[in-house]
Amino acid sequence: MSIFDKTIKVVANISREATEIAENISKEASREITEIAINISKKTFKKTTENINKISNSNKSSNNNDSSSSSVKSEEIK
């Protein structure tokens, strides 16, 4: 086997190993990015739900105040 053939064989092996390492890094990075995206989605959903509940409770409280004040007004008119 000539030096040229040996060099090609070594370069091919290095290339295969580099490709395998790059694929593993890509898979791991993809997993981590997916995990981060899921966590952000969960936090966003939780915060959105909390805000909706706050608004809903505020509206309920406001509606209760409106109805109680309107009933007081109607009693005062009588």
Q: 41 falls in which pLDDT band (50, 70, 90)?
A: very high
Q: 6 falls in which pLDDT band (50, 70, 90)?
A: very high
For 47-77, what is each residue's pLDDT tens digit? 999 999 999 888 887 776 655 554 444 444 4
Is 3 a residue whose pLDDT tops 90?
A: yes
| pLDDT of res. 67 | 55
Concatenating the DSSP letter of every residue in 17-71 gives HHHHHHHHHHHHHHHHHHHHHHHHHHHHHHHHHHHHHHHHHHHHHHHHHHHHHHH
For 28-40, what is each residue's pLDDT tens digit? 999 999 999 999 9
